[in-house]
Amino acid sequence: GESVGLHLPTLSVQEGDNSIINCAYSNSASDYFIWYKQESGKGPQFIIDIRSNMDKRQGQRVTVLLNKTVKHLSLQIAATQPGDSAVYFCAEGGNNRLAFGKGNQVVVIP
Amino acid sequence: NAGVMQNPRHLVRRRGQEARLRCSPMKGHSHVYWYRQLPEEGLKFMVYLQKENIIDESGMPKERFSAEFPKEGPSILRIQQVVRGDSAAYFCASSTDRGDNSPLHFGNGTRLTVT
């Protein structure tokens, strides 16, 4: 069956540095991927998405990279700010739904 | 433009009682999803509905759980005869299209505690 997983449970990053969060997926048929951010007590908030016909997409301070060969997804956050402290989830689309990974805690050190 | 609205935010039930969770999707969204989240876990798919139809309920437990999305009014997730293992955060999400093809917009969840 499909599975989505994150490599590191917690990432501590100095304010102003760049952050990279990695995610592996196993369903090679997936063609849609999303990154969400979840702050304590809130629902997941959409950050950026990418379709399988692309390998890179940029947003405001964020970049998503997709490597279909090794089934790897990453989220890069530029100039990390205290407000970026949260849990980040990758999700892959398939079978009418999104399947989520376990999440990766990002802690920004002022 | 209001986002996805869920209520109540917190719900406490004793074992054996019923829990009813409500979700109003974003305006113009006809696709509704329910997910469950345990502490320090990702979100697990439960059910996908469109107006008056259950499209996919493969993530729902076979017993005690049901969901609806009527023509008028919010989507309801209903849990009968709750047990302690039902304690979790339940998130509703909506979208303009199928959730594997467009972003899901999530509410802030209902945190169910079964005592």
Higher-pLDDT residue of B96 and B18 is: B18
Distance from CA of B85 to the nearest CA of A (A): 19
CB within 8 Å: B108 and A42: yes
User: Nearest Cβ partner of A103 from B42, B44, B98?
Assistant: B42
CB within 8 Å: B56 and A49: no
CB within 8 Å: B42 and A46: no
pLDDT of residue B1: 53
Please name the amino acid found at residue B77. L
User: Nearest Cβ partner of A94 from B100, B103, B108?
Assistant: B100
B60 CB within 8 Å of a chain A CB: no
Higher-pLDDT residue of B64 and A41 is: B64
Pairing of strands B19-24, A97-100: unpaired
- Please give the share of chain A, as a percent, with pLDDT higher than 70: 93
- Please give the share of chain B, as a percent, with pLDDT higher than 90: 79
With 50 as the cut, is the pLDDT of residue B80 above it? Answer: yes
- Give the Cα separation of A74 and A94 in Å (integer): 19
Q: Please state, rounded to an integer, the average pLDDT across all residues of chain B.
A: 93
Could you read off the pLDDT of B47-67 as tens digits, one per residue? 999 988 999 999 999 999 999
Here the tokens at position B52 are 């008056």
Could you read off the pLDDT of B9-25 as tens digits, one per residue? 999 999 999 999 999 99
Q: Please state, rounded to an integer, the average pLDDT across all residues of chain A.
A: 89
Could you read off the pLDDT of A67-89 as tens digits, one per residue? 999 999 999 999 999 999 999 99
- B-contacting residues in A 16-55 (Cβ below 8 Å): 32, 34, 36, 41-46, 49
Among residues B70, B69, B62, B83, the alpha carbon closest in space to that of B32 is found at B69
Distance from CA of B34 to the nearest CA of A (A): 10
User: Nearest Cβ partner of B103 from A41, A46, A101?
Assistant: A46
pLDDT of residue A93: 87
pLDDT of residue A101: 84
State phi, psi for B48 to the nearest 5 degrees.
-125, 125
Q: Enumerate residues 6+ apart whose C-beta is below 8 A from A45.
A: A36, A37, A38, A39, B106
Distance from CA of B69 to the nearest CA of A (A): 17
Q: Enumerate residues 6+ apart whose C-beta is below 8 A from A39.
A: A45, A85, A86, A87
Q: How confident is the model at residue A6 (pLDDT cuts 50, 70, 90)?
A: very low
User: Nearest Cβ partner of B99 from A4, A89, A93?
Assistant: A93
Pairing of strands B43-50, B53-56: antiparallel
B113 CB within 8 Å of a chain A CB: no
With 80 as the cut, is the pLDDT of residue B40 above it? Answer: no
pLDDT of residue A28: 85
Q: How confident is the model at residue A4 (pLDDT cuts 50, 70, 90)?
A: low
> Which of A5-9, A37-41, B96-100 is predicted most confidently?
A37-41
3-state class of A69 per DSSP? Answer: coil
